Amino acid sequence: MSAPHQTTGANLDQAPKKRLAVGVIGSGNWGTAIAKICGENARAHGHHFRSKVRMWVFEEEIEHKGEKRKLTEVFNETHENVKYLPGVECPPNVIAVPDVREVARRSDVLVFVVPHQFINRVCDQMAGHLRPNAVGISCIKGVSVGKDGVRLFSDVIQEKLGIYCGVLSGANVANEVAKEQFCETTIGYKPPQPIVSPEQIVAVFDRPYFSVVSVDDVAGVALGGALKNIVAMAVGFADGMEWGGNTKSAIMRRGLLEMQKFATTFFDSEPGTMVEQSCGIADLVTSCLGGRNNRVAEAYVKSGKPIDVLEKELLGGQLLQGASTAKEVHEFLSTKDMVNEFPLFRSVYKICYENMDAKDLIQVLQPLKEESENEGGTETE
Ligand SMILES: NC(=O)C1=CN([C@@H]2O[C@H](COP(=O)(O)OP(=O)(O)OC[C@H]3O[C@@H](n4cnc5c(N)ncnc54)[C@H](O)[C@@H]3O)[C@@H](O)[C@H]2O)C=CC1
Ligand SMILES: O=C(CO)COP(=O)(O)O
């Protein structure tokens, strides 16, 4: 049932021919927490990795101690991302760099952690500036929908930059990981040639408080992280309605089934990944217990303000992924004429974009029962 191959923990017996340089593309809430982890491991495994970890920062001016300063300058002085991960000190070998091409040129392992809205543009800037044997790991939670259908961002990165790209995703609320509270994560990494071995990739991320399992099911890892954001919004709407734990568990259960169905229908994903790994059930639960998607969705029901307004008011520059993912998934399912086979995803889209009343989510939870009783009978709105 589970993905057949798993690599756990860091197992770095053989010294490599050369030490690998790690670069992080992105410096938001999760981007900075990931850079902290990579910085700690670059120092811990000095025979394998170069000490300096470059973190690309989308440069912006911030107000710091009464002065207008560049975010990169403040980070390199204080080792703290005062805007996106305040109160957390990164190791001094993590260096903020405003030029994404410099990070591309000087890294063997590139870790992509930007909100999914920006990855195409960032890749366009990096193209032609990469090391020939570089590999990527995408920590982005979302999917790309276009003329070619639905695609994983790891595949988009692979195609745009000509490098192999794996995926990291799990139950990893950034502020908790940054405080070194224990959690698990999943890496999907199956390169055609092991230019960088799975053990080395695990060693970039594995910490005593950040427990990594590597599996072959790259699509399952990526889709778990993307689709749970839609379900977290549904549970946030339920929180806004002040529905209890039983109702929210029902939404999570139905959401998990839709995540699994989507991953196995449209991708070659193992059904077990969603129910066994951190990137599936665990990420779903942690996000529904109070991630950003959940909080904004709850505030939407309670305040009646538009979602984009609440995103600005509540997230301090961080970005919401669930509403746009619901839209992208809806557009894709419409082209397949399969919208009604994913009633929870459909409802989140309709609440966010077509003024559906959040209290009608309850009706949406009913029809599957009729469907199974009627043996394939069609579902009504
Ligand atoms: N925050 C979290 O707890 C977790 C987030 N993720 C995922 O990681 C990815 C990145 O999320 P976060 O690091 O939390 O970002 P964030 O939500 O903190 O977003 C802000 C980031 O976007 C950058 N940005 C703003 N405008 C930009 C532009 N025009 N071009 C490029 N960058 C721009 C900002 O400089 C900042 O680094 C997302 O896909 C998210 O779903 C995954 C696990 C945990
Ligand atoms: O992905 C996350 C936790 O694993 C964070 O989710 P939110 O973006 O909803 O905060």
Residue range 245-270: mean pLDDT, rounded: 97
Q: How far apart are CA 333 and CA 210, in angstroms?
A: 35
Q: Is 26 annotated as a binding residue?
A: yes
321 C-beta closer than 6 A to ligand 1? yes
Cα 246 from Cα 264, distance rounded (Å): 27
Alpha-carbon gap, residue 235 to 248, rounded angstroms = 6
Residue 375, pLDDT above cutoff 70: no
Mutate to test the pocket of ligand 1, among 27, 30, 123, 284 (most ligand atoms within 8 A of CB): 30
What are the C-alpha distances in Å from 183 to residues 204, 206, 279, 308?
A: 16, 11, 11, 30
Which residue has its alpha carbon closest to ligand 1 atom 4?
A: 30
Q: What percent of the chain has pLDDT over 70?
A: 92
To test ligand 2's pocket by mutation, which of 34, 173, 227 has the most ligand atoms within 8 angstroms of CB?
173
The yes-or-no verdict on residue 15 having pLDDT over 80 is no
pLDDT at 380 over 50: no
Percentage with pLDDT > 90 across the chain: 88
Q: Where are the alpha helices (DSSP H) in 52-186?
A: 71-78, 100-105, 119-126, 153-161, 174-178
Q: Is the beta carbon of 81 within 6 A of some atom in ligand 2? A: no
Residue range 176-200, pLDDT digits in tens: 999 999 999 999 999 998 889 999 9
The stretch 79-91 carries a mean pLDDT of: 98
pLDDT at 89 over 80: yes
pLDDT in tens, 121-151: 999 999 999 999 999 999 999 999 988 899 9
374 pLDDT higher than 60 = no
Tens of pLDDT, residues 209-237: 999 999 999 999 999 999 999 999 999 99
pLDDT of 379 reads 40
Predicted pLDDT of residue 148 = 84
Q: Is 125 in the pocket of ligand 1 (CB under 6 A)?
A: no
Centre of ligand 1 to C-alpha 153, Å, is 14
The CA 113 to ligand 2 mean position distance, Å, reads 13
Of 160, 222, 161, the residue nearest 190 (C-alpha)? 222
Instruction: Say how many CA atoms lie within 13 Å of 185 toward its Cβ.
Output: 30
Mutate to test the pocket of ligand 2, among 287, 311, 315, 318 (most ligand atoms within 8 A of CB): 287
With a 6 A CB cut-off, is 283 part of the ligand 2 pocket? yes
* Residue 141 Cβ < 6 Å to ligand 2: yes
Lowest-confidence segment of 44-48, 107-111, 194-198, 223-227 by average pLDDT: 194-198
Distance 73 CA to ligand 2 centre (A): 28
Residue 232 in contact with ligand 2 by CB distance below 6 A: yes
Distance of CA 86 from the midpoint of ligand 2 (Å): 17
What pLDDT is attached to residue 194? 80
Q: Is 83 annotated as a binding residue?
A: no
Does the beta carbon of 29 lie inside 6 Å of ligand 2?
Answer: no
Decide which of 105 and 381 is more confident. Answer: 105
CA distances from 43 to 26, 92, 185, 255 (A): 20, 10, 21, 40
Average pLDDT over residues 308-323: 96
Mean pLDDT of 235-258: 97
Alpha carbon nearest to ligand 2 atom 5, residue: 173
Looking at the CA of 295, which ligand is closest? 2
Q: In the annotation, is 70 catalytic?
A: no
Tens of pLDDT along 349-367?
999 999 999 999 999 888 5
Question: Which domains does the chain carry?
Answer: 6-216 (3.40.50.720), 220-373 (1.10.1040.10)
